[in-house]
Structure 1
Amino acid sequence: MFKKLTKCIVNEMDPSKEMVPVESIAHQEHFRPLYLLIEKRKSNHVFHPAPYYERTGFTLDHVLLPGGDGKSIESLHQDSSPFTLTKTSTDQADGGLSISVDPASVGLQGAASLSNVFSIKTQKKSISRDSLEALRREREINMNHSFIRQLRQTDFSLFVVTEILEASEDVVYTESTTANGGLKAKFVATVSAKGTRENNQSIAIPKGCTLAFNTIPLQIRDGAWELDYFRRGDYIIASYEGPSQGNLGVVLIEVENHCQIFSKLSPDVLLIILNTIKAVMGDNNLLQELSHKMEDILEKNDGYELKSESTKLQALFSTLQHFRRGDLLLLAEGITYVLDALHELMEDQLLLLLESLERKIVSQQLKLVGNLLKHDLEYRMENFRVDAGLLSFPHAEDQKLTIALVELSGVQLQEDGSAVPTDQPFEAVAALFVALYALNLLSGSE
């Protein structure tokens, strides 16, 4: 929920997407100015173009040798004037699903529509380049620091936080999913096992909470350190050279590359992977555990342990122990890629995907979402149409479920194929496509 909010704020305030949304409110204090981060994995994805950062718990001040004046550098940052983000959304009250944001704000409900105003005051804090350069000339890295010694034994890239966006006052963010008797919303409510007609979730954002951040790569050599101010262009999504494919071609190339290992596995192994993926889709703790285990395989030649107290994961871990190292790396990379895509989806979407597997409609949903990616969902907020035949299912409930699934990724669909994108939803739709692609491929073993 916090992640959804911060992504929305970054999309509105930073169209260039240089800032990275903070994904967990529990760890937001680790993304303050001058904190050190390592790049978790080298690869970035079309559905997550920013790097995968991991907090270290250390600041630049922690790893520098003492300065001549003995002063801390924690106060080097500069504050901008506070500014307010206000976002208004209106959903037609047609008996369908309404996803709205309403943090301590104004809610206007009429006979035909529901409007919500979301407002949050924020400000930027940044470290000037002049301050960083003066610091670089004055103080060297402590090469005997335990963190620096450990870092030198890895190939991790080190980054320093130089700019943040923070909440300048307390605010409560509330998300409502209202049923209103529509089949789409009933699926969300029923599959989520909420048992109520309306589901409200709230999260308190304290003053000073980090919402997004920006970094600069930090290079260390024999005590000296350099900052790469001009690192740009790593996260741009290239256009596919095909007149009718749009960004679908980009997503297809990436997903086929990461998932090709699955086509080489036996049906028995595919089924074990599918059952494991289904288990973690319904349990975020299991999803995190599986992600960490796969990352251990990718980052460590030895020293990792493929064991779990969960029987839902142990079947996969026992199977992986029989793979040769080369194949194991490819499989861990493929599973990690799928888990990354699932992590980008909303909880309700994961539950709707599980229901879709039961109804055996994933293949058709994949074709529909692929059709959406042929349109420009990245820059132009324009209405378009998809093939209405892709919305034709044997059962009306399947259609409503699919429309609800897609709407949660930011594209509103009507039965006639008309589509309305919201909030430049390319990355959200790409993540949904990857999840459907993997589930469709793995479920072929059933």
Structure 2
Amino acid sequence: MTLFENVTRALARQLNPRGDLTPLDSLIDFQRFHPFCLVLRKRKSTLFWGARYVRTDYTLLDMLEPGSEPSDLTDVGKFSFKNMLDARAEGEVDVPKTVKVTGAAGMSRSSTLEVQTLSVSPKALESLHQERKLTAEHPFLKEMRNRGENLYVVMEVVETVQEVTLERAGKAEGCFSLPFFAPLGLQGSINHKEAITIRKGCILAFRVRQLMVNGKDKWDIPHIYNDNMQTFPPEGVIQASDAGEAHEDFRTLKEEVQRETQEVEKLSQTGKSSLLSSLSKLLGKKKELQDLEFTLEGALDKGHEVSLEALPKDVLLSKDAMGAILYFLGALSELSEVQQKLLVKSMEKKILPVQLKLVENTMEQNFLRDKEGVFSLQPQLLSSLGEEELTLTEALVGLSGLELQRSGPEYTWDPDTLPHLCALYAGLSFLQLLTKAS
């Protein structure tokens, strides 16, 4: 993860834990995420990773007929952060006989990140809505309508109050004693330092709401929307703006994962086997995995089926299948490269079902628990694992923040581990589905 992305994610979690504040992941794009900018969404939001939005070259104001400009933005508040650390980039995991990973990332001690939150006021939006109609024949709108794209309007941003230089320094060490860790390339230590200067007025995070186009020149930005709503609904279709499904308990997340796996299950036997073979080679290689995401996103952007280079040419991925695979790639990308390599070893040893059941049982007990506490696991969950498989499993879940103790059966729950375990649960579900088909 880049230093900029590291800091924007940590900032979003500080200001809006488990909320709809999206961190910007690319410094070069910050000018395209100011209030009223139009953006496209490339993947849905879920608990373990946020929605991904990409810029366009237009704003909502570009789509409206000439008229009065909206009033100034509302200053919601100013905040300061010192020595901000991203929990996913800092910590220590020490699993007996396996691996010790330590690292640190954050801002230099002399730096303070000062930000302010600016938003479009309801009054300003209402005035704009009443006074300026949509330019129905605008080429960009016509293109988006023809492609069936959904458009979103940036309504609130978090920006820097003054220029700041951020630094990150860290050290990662690995020590491994079991033979099966040697092929993973997890040895030695790495010292790392980098710095970046962020100018005043740079957007670090943002909130969006969906643009709705009704008829020829009517538009609206509802307060509440869901994934089923369309910016350009078919004529005569009235869409309700019910709130999307929230992750109120583990059952909700489980059902969501099952819906996505059902789309992957529709692939042919050859398609699933080829996809598994491709992923086995990509896991543990962050850049290559991201390239696969970008390939799928590019295909979705063009709105047609695609045949990936890793798949036989006669295996085409539909839009729904690509969306489901992107869903799981998002979860796998949240895992560290070490965890991804451990998943490959777990597939080879055919212990994914045991690991999936372990994570599932843990979250069933603790999903709604927002404070640290002790819980127990059934001894038989791990009884089928041999020494090597148990060690591998301890490392895999330990790097998500869940420390297993062989003495058991009581374990300590840390609420901060929930998003990481959700990502691991989705990744395990996906790979288990593919391994069953191979």
Is this contact kept in 1: 2:284–2:338, CA < 8 A?
no
Determine which of 315, 318, 333 is the counterpart of 2:313. Answer: 318
Q: Taking structure 2 as the reference length, what is the TM-score of the superposition?
A: 0.76
Q: How much is the aligned-residue C-alpha RMSD, in angstroms?
A: 3.8
| Pair 1:439-2:434 in alignment | no
1:35-85, CA deviations, whole angstroms, 9 ceiling, x for partnerless residues? 1123335x554534x5443322312232233336xx6x6x83344553223
Q: Which of the numbers 80, 83, 92 marks the counterpart of 1:84?
A: 80
2:41–2:152: 8 Å Cα contact kept in structure 1?
A: yes
Q: How does 1:256-275 map to 2 (within 5 A)?
A: 256-260=258-262, 268-275=270-277
Equivalents in 2 of 1:157, 1:278: separation in Å? Answer: 33
> Once the 2 structures are TM-superposed, how far is the Cα of residue 175 of structure 1 from its aligned partner?
6.3
Q: Which residue does 1:356 correspond to in 2?
A: 346
**1:182-232 deviations in Å (ceiling 9; x for gaps):** 769x96x983x4754135364636134332211222223433432213557
Measured in 2, the distance between the counterparts of 1:379 and 1:167 equals 34
Matching of residue 157 in structure 1 with residue 161 in structure 2: no
Change in 2 beyond 3 A, CA 1:409/1:377: farther
Q: Conserved in 2, the CA contact under 8 Å of 1:279 and 1:286? A: no
Distance 1:183 1:385, change over 3 A: farther
Name the residue aligned to 1:429: 421
Q: Give the match for residue 365 of structure 1.
A: 355
CA distance in 2, matches of 1:146, 1:391: 60
Task: Provide the secondary structure at the position in 2 that maps to 1:236.
Answer: coil
Distance in 1 between the 2:268 and 2:212 partners? 45
Question: Which runs of 5 or more structure 1 residues have no equivalent in the other structure?
Answer: 107-117, 240-246, 307-312
Change in CA separation of 1:211 and 1:354 when aligned onto 2, cut-off 3 Å: farther
What's the offset of the Cα at 1:316?
0.7
Q: Which segments of 5 or more consecutive residues in structure 2 lack a partner in the other structure?
A: 226-241
Q: For 1:106-255, list aligned pairs within 5 A.
A: 120-168=113-161, 169-174=163-168, 176=170, 178-179=172-173, 181=175, 191=184, 193=185, 196-200=188-192, 202=194, 204=196, 206-207=198-199, 208-221=201-214, 222-231=216-225, 233-234=243-244, 236-239=246-249, 247=250, 249-255=251-257
Q: CA separation in 1, counterparts of 2:60 and 2:268? A: 49
Look up the SS of the partner of 1:162 in the other structure. strand
* Alignment partner, residue 11 of structure 1: 13
Identity of aligned residues (%): 27
CA distance 1:233–1:410, change in 2 (3 Å): farther
Worse-superposed segment, 18-27 or 271-280: 18-27
How many angstroms apart in 1 are the aligned matches of 2:120 and 2:319? Answer: 39
CA distance 1:298–1:148, shift in 2 (3 Å): closer
Contact kept, 8 Å, 1:44 with 1:235, in 2: the verdict is no
Give the aligned partner of residue 111 of structure 1: none
> Secondary structure, in 3 states, of the residue corresponding to 1:125?
strand
State how 1:23-34 maps to structure 2 within 5 Å. 23-34=25-36
| Aligned-partner Cα distance in 2 for 1:201–1:270 | 41
Match of 2:48 in 1: 47
Provide the rounded CA distance (Å) in 1 between the counterparts of 2:128 and 2:165: 36
- Name the count of aligned residue pairs: 405
2:399 corresponding residue in structure 1 = 408
Residue 115 (structure 1) aligns with: none
Give the 3 Å change call, closer, same or farther, for CA 375–173 of structure 1 in structure 2. Answer: farther
Partner residue of 2:332 out of 342, 350, 358:
342
- On the 8 A contact 1:413/1:419 being kept in 2, the answer is yes
TM-score between both structures, scaled by the size of structure 1: 0.75
SS at match of 1:411: coil
CA offsets 1:302-335 (integer angstroms, 9 cap, x no match): 5x553xxxxxx524151414x8xxxx45544443
Counterparts in 2 of 1:258-337, with a 5 A limit?
258-260=260-262, 268-294=270-296, 302=304, 305-306=306-307, 313-321=308-316, 328=318, 331-337=321-327
Query: Residue type of the partner of 2:244?
Result: D
2:59 corresponds to which residue? 59
In structure 2, C-alpha distance between the alignment counterparts of 1:251 and 1:148, rounded to whole Å = 35
Which residue of 1 is the match for residue 238 of structure 2?
A: none
- The CA deviation at 1:98 is 2.7
Task: Provide the C-alpha distance between the structure 1 equivalents of 2:176 and 2:15, rounded to a whole number of angstroms.
Answer: 34
- How far does residue 445 in structure 1 lie from its aligned partner after superposition? 4.8
User: What is the CA-CA distance between 1:177 and the residue it aligns to?
Assistant: 5.1
Q: Which residue of structure 1 aligns with residue 230 of structure 2?
A: none
Distance 1:426 1:363, change over 3 A: same
Q: Is the 8 A contact 1:378 1:424 kept in 2?
A: no
- SS for the counterpart of 2:246 is coil
2-structure distance, mates of 1:402, 1:428: 15
Amino acid at match of 1:354: V
Q: Tell me the SS of whatever aligns to 1:179.
A: strand
Once residues 252 and 224 of structure 2 are traced to their aligned partners in structure 1, the CA distance between those partners, rounded to angstroms, is: 26
- Give the partner amino acid of 2:359: V
Whole-Å Cα distance in 2 between the matches of residues 85 and 190 of structure 1?
Answer: 41
Cα deviation 1:358-388 (Å, max 9, x = unaligned): 4443333222211221133455131333435
- 1:103 is matched by which residue type in structure 2? M
Q: CA deviation at 1:129?
A: 2.0
SS of match in other structure, 1:220: strand
Q: Secondary structure at the match of 1:352?
A: helix
Q: 1:274/1:195 Cα in 2 relative to 1: closer, same or farther (>3 Å)? A: same
Asked if the contact 1:403–1:412 (Cα under 8 Å) also holds between the matched residues in 2, the reply is: yes
Partner of 2:232: none
- The change in CA–CA distance for 1:427 and 1:16 in structure 2 (over 3 A counts) is closer
Q: Deviation per CA, 1:152-203: give whole Å up to 9, x if none.
A: 224333221111123444242526353274769x96x983x47541353646
Alignment CA distance shift 1:92-1:52 (3 Å): closer
Preserved contact between residue 33 and residue 163 of structure 1 (Cα < 8 Å): yes
